[in-house]
Amino acid sequence: MARLTPYLSFTDRAREALEFYRSVLGGTVDISTFGSMPGMTDDPAEQELVMHGQLETPGGLVLMASDTPSFMTYVAPTSGVTVALTGGPEDVDGIRAAFTALSDGATDVMPFELAPWGDHYGQLVDRFGISWMFDAGTA
């Protein structure tokens, strides 16, 4: 079955972001650098940039990311794209923990709390400029 997976773009902080997300969500990070692929870049300063990185969590979440070397055009995260971490009543504590950890250095924080429609809801822009939404149903 196909999966829809967020793929985040950075200028040069993909490794740092993936490691931070791993510290929040758990799991394993796998990284391929531009330098590990022959012919991708001759610039020594770009050898360790992330060509493809992937975080897989124990719960089956997948988050991908890459850096942007000088020969590619950087596409910044847009205000119309948000990474959503959602679940049911059994996930409230885990989602709250992720929200709390991702709040470190975040801006535009809407607290994770009971919303008028009955779910626990919150949102923020993390320290890397990535917009996140958190929702845990109560029924």
Q: Domain spans of the chain? A: 7-66, 83-136
User: pTM for the full model?
Assistant: 0.92
Cross-sheet strand order for the sheet of 107-114:
83-87, 131-136, 120-125, 107-114
SS3 at position 78: coil
Cα separation of 76 and 11, whole Å? 8
Q: What is the pLDDT of residue 85?
A: 96
Give the pairing type, strands 62-66 and 7-9: parallel
| Beta strands per DSSP E along the chain | 7-9, 28-33, 50-56, 62-66, 83-87, 107-114, 120-125, 131-136
Q: What is the pLDDT of residues 56-112, one digit of tens each?
A: 999 999 999 999 999 999 988 877 889 999 999 999 999 999 999 999 999 999 999
What is the CATH architecture of 83-136? Roll (3.10)
Which amino acid is present at 82?
A: T
pLDDT class of 48 with cuts at 50, 70, 90: very high
Distance CA 134, CA 139 (A): 16
Question: Distance between CA atoms of 66 and 82, rounded to whole angstroms?
Answer: 17
pLDDT for 106 equals: 97
